[in-house]
């Protein structure tokens, strides 16, 4: 069985994330969407909220499993017999950080491979941080956020002003 993990903070999940998840769900028998903790980020949504939103967005994809994990992604891979990490890459600065991560991951777990996926052109520029900024200033974000979580995202930022 071919399995992969697609990790991210998903704060919130965007249409760019969903684009990649849909595409890899056709390539792998089992896709683990791993809602990760990141010590360098201060998420707007709790880990529980992010997992619930990811589950809502992915519920139509039967081979997608959504979980949270507080450790290194490579350790999750080892624990779950997963040899492929899928990472999204929108631009050159993403490439630089992904290249370093690839090297560390390979050093820690030599059996793991990393696949870099680019979102389709309409999602190339979409980022969770931009979505948060846009919605805070009242911009309609329905082109950038899956419809299943749109109301939750808008409500979060309307109440946090």
Q: Which of 14, 17, 32, 132 is catalytic?
A: 17
Alpha-carbon span 102 to 85, nearest angstrom: 9
Annotated active-site residue 90? The verdict is yes
Q: What are the chain's domains?
A: 3-159 (3.40.50.620)
Distances (CA, A) of 95 to 1, 89, 113, 116, 138: 29, 6, 16, 9, 31
Give the predicted TM-score (pTM) of the model: 0.91
Residues of the chain with pLDDT under 70: 91-92, 94-95, 123, 159-161
pLDDT at res. 92 = 63
Environment class of residue 98 by beta-carbon count within 10 Å: exposed (0-12), middle (13-18) or buried (19+)? middle
Q: Please give the Cα distance from 39 to 3 (Å, whole number).
A: 27
128 is catalytic: yes
């Amino acid at each position: 069985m071919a399995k992969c993990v697609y990790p991210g903070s998903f704060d919130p999940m965007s249409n760019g994330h969903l684009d990649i998840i849909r595409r890899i769900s056709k390539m792998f028998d089992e896709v683990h969407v791993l809602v990760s903790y990141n010590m360098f980020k201060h998420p707007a949504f709790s880990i529980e909220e992010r997992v619930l939103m990811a589950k809502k967005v992915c519920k139509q994809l039967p081979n997608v499993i959504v979980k949270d994990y507080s450790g290194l992604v490579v350790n999750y891979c080892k624990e779950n017999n997963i040899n492929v990490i899928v990472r999204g890459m929108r631009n050159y600065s993403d490439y630089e950080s992904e290249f370093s991560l690839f090297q560390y991951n390979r050093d820690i777990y030599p059996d793991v491979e990393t696949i870099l996926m680019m979102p389709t052109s309409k999602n190339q520029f979409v980022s969770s941080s931009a979505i948060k900024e846009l919605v805070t200033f009242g911009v309609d974000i329905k082109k950038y956020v899956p419809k299943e979580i749109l109301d939750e995202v808008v409500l979060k930022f309307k109440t946090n002003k």
